[in-house]
Structure 1
């Protein structure tokens, strides 16, 4: 499996490349955002399965690089950075990163994440993840002002389209197809991330937070402490006479 490592520190890159190579990965090292984008241009070489992207690059911010990668390639991107705040995590995932790893990290954990994203996307660069459900309803799922169109992978609130990342859509689609049903965290991770690895739990929390913020419906996804999450169908609007509609 071929991997693009975007890291400006040669010592860090050399050490990580040695570890990854021992586990059967072919590592190509880019020292800047410009080198990374150049390396992702189509050529006759084997496509990259994953991009490991540091955020502190000399020529441009890693967030900007991720956004530019997403315009030219569907190759999975794992951000590897010392920025541990939730805002940075959400921003990176919103830009299209598939995962976010905070330094210092365990190399075993990083390897597990690399293999997880490569399994989910199949051949790198040839398209995104498939919808969670194999049988896709033709009609939009409507929950109050929220509409989820599975065939087109489009979400709208009050008729306004809300752009979501691939994983955000897959997560919402899973919950929206069975509103009111509690999905265990392990079940969601298995269905959406196609892995049973426990370390994905933090990524799930970040995606839930991002969905609540983007949809501007914080109460839509309810946290069931110690279990998982469920989608709460919005309450019906008032009846014509001003009284609440019957449940």
Structure 2
């Protein structure tokens, strides 16, 4: 029997959607656990310790935002949030409670699989980086740009004297910008570097949403927008 690539918790109260997502992820080689409401999702996360969670926002019991808060407090895990509305406030709220990415319903299964694969690759790359540093006895020094300090090994961030909590995606986005201070990075380049996949104009909106969430946490003045091009982390 083939070893599953990853264990994915699918939280969706519509049985047909839950089953369809689960079947497609199983076809990709993943083990799948299903939950249909807020309390069930939190319990399944504690019991099965999934590698990734696909989480609908609208759930009975309590909603997906509360689920995300609780599971991230218990054990951080990548979360792909499903939302019925592409409302910016809803998206930013989801990112603010620890979601790493989001898809707006209705969505295509190919896109969902691509998002899941990208999130899992990023987790693998982070683990390999830590293992490599441990193996050669070296640790990377922190990145410091304009009063923003990022500890790459510990995944901790300070804006001035204030420590801020970033999701794994926000952290990777901040690192990508901090590695080239003052340089404007195109949105499609950030999408490929941070998320690990290519997309069109609709996909780059994911970058925009995460930049807005990052700004809210580290200070809007630290990230400069060049409209129609991309973003830069200000060195001063």
Q: TM-score range by the shorter chain?
A: 0.7 to 0.9
Cα gap change, 1:147 to 1:27, in 2 (>3 Å): closer
Aligned residues: 224
Normalised to the residue count of structure 1, the TM-score between the two structures is: 0.77
Q: Displacement of 1:140 after TM fit?
A: 5.1
The one of 212, 215, 219 equivalent to 2:215 is 212
Aligned twin of 2:72:
70
Q: Displacement of 1:17 after TM fit?
A: 3.3
Q: Which secondary structure does the structure 2 equivalent of 1:213 belong to?
A: helix
Higher-helix-fraction structure: 2
Aligned twin of 1:29:
34
The one of 133, 139, 144 equivalent to 1:141 is 144
CA–CA separation in structure 1 for the residues paired with 2:139 and 2:178: 12
The one of 220, 229, 237 equivalent to 2:231 is 229
Query: Retained in 1: the 8 A contact 2:114–2:197?
Result: no
Encode CA deviations 1:202-246: one digit per residue, 9 max, x unaligned. 221111111222223x23222223332212233xxxxxxxxxxxx
Tell me, which stretches of 5 or more residues in structure 2 are unaligned? none
Query: Retained in 2: the 8 A contact 1:141–1:177?
Result: no
What is the CA RMSD across the aligned residues, in angstroms?
A: 2.9
Q: Which secondary structure does the structure 2 equivalent of 1:156 belong to?
A: strand
Q: Displacement of 1:82 after TM fit?
A: 0.6
Aligned twin of 2:104:
102
Larger radius of gyration: 1
Tell me, which stretches of 5 or more residues in structure 1 are unaligned? 235-247
Aligned twin of 1:239:
none
Query: Retained in 2: the 8 A contact 1:128–1:166?
Result: no
Q: Which secondary structure does the structure 2 equivalent of 1:41 belong to?
A: helix
Query: Retained in 2: the 8 A contact 1:5–1:52?
Result: yes
Comparing 170-179 and 56-65, the one that deviates more: 170-179
Aligned twin of 1:194:
196
Normalised to the residue count of structure 2, the TM-score between the two structures is: 0.80
Cα gap change, 1:136 to 1:178, in 2 (>3 Å): farther
CA–CA separation in structure 2 for the residues paired with 1:18 and 1:139: 42
Q: Which secondary structure does the structure 1 equivalent of 2:77 belong to?
A: coil
Q: Which secondary structure does the structure 1 equivalent of 2:46 belong to?
A: coil
CA–CA separation in structure 2 for the residues paired with 1:179 and 1:136: 21
Aligned twin of 2:13:
8
Q: Displacement of 1:156 after TM fit?
A: 2.8
